[in-house]
Amino acid sequence: MSSIDSLLAGANTITQSFRDINSIGSAVSAVRGVANLFQGASALTLGQMEFTGYEVPESLSYGTEQMLGIHTLPGGKRVFDLMGPNPESVCWRGLLLSEDAEDRARELQLMCDEGEVVSLLFGDNRWEVLLHKIKFDVIRVGYHYQYDITCVIVSTGLESGDRGFLGELSDEIGSALGIDLPGTLADVRSAVSTVKSVASTVVGITGGSPGAVKVLGAIGAAQGLVTGAARVANGEVAGFAKIAGTMTSSSTAINVVNGLASGTQKLALLGRTGAHLGSAAARLGS
């Protein structure tokens, strides 16, 4: 059966339900059927509660701002201290339109009262949030409520400790940062830190998503520095190896050994760092 045939079959069933309306409850069920037919499966989940039909908002607002410390110097020049992202609250409104609308309203009220951190999923977006505020407008007791929700973001999915895709990605970045790079490779470590910073500010990271593209850009920059540093280290090793063939004193030998050890260590550490970055990039590109 084609998707059009399925749609027509669903519409016929709902039309019959309108003909059979004999109570408020059956009317609500018919209206909710129309909503489910055209809006599809659940697109919004808060904690254990899935929103469907007219419960799913037509729009949902969220955003972020970069906190700034602005210092104005004589002559009008300004210096900016970047203090990190400050995500705005996630807000939306919708309708509870069903025979169990009152129970679902109570469930949301209880979630707000308990003040526990819960997961909020909307499309490709994921946040860990606190349900900060909820307001109900009762249109018909027991059946029809309009609700307004405000959630405060506690963390993005990458920071939430969620296993699976996001957890594995976080592990790869964390492992790259955990490698004890020498001071001479501080720029590489800084680039890896930037990857973590970018990933933690992007909401809704999934393979191939716009958020993933931003993180991939940061990973690419870090990989470029790793490649460049490895090329330099390899040159150092080759240079000391060449000197080793013409050594004429013990002091030269010591310098050569130390140089070879340092260069080889750098190559090993850069190889491990590059491997983790490559694995993270592969996950994001999938």
pLDDT in tens, 91-111: 999 999 888 899 999 999 999
What is the distance of C-alpha 74 from the center of its chain? 41
Distance, in Å, from the CA atom of 130 to the CA atom of 151, rounded to the nearest integer, reads 5
* Of residues 170, 171, 217, the one with CA closest to residue 191: 217
Is the pLDDT at 25 greater than 80, yes or no? no
Percentage of residues of the chain with pLDDT beyond 90: 16
| φ, ψ dihedrals at 250, nearest 5° | -65, -35
The C-alpha atoms of residue 235 and residue 233 are separated, in whole angstroms, by 5
pLDDT of residue 204: 55
For the whole prediction, is pTM greater than 0.85? no
Distance (Å, whole) CA 54 – CA 204: 23
Cα–Cα distance measured from residue 32 to residue 99, given in angstroms and rounded to the nearest whole number: 10
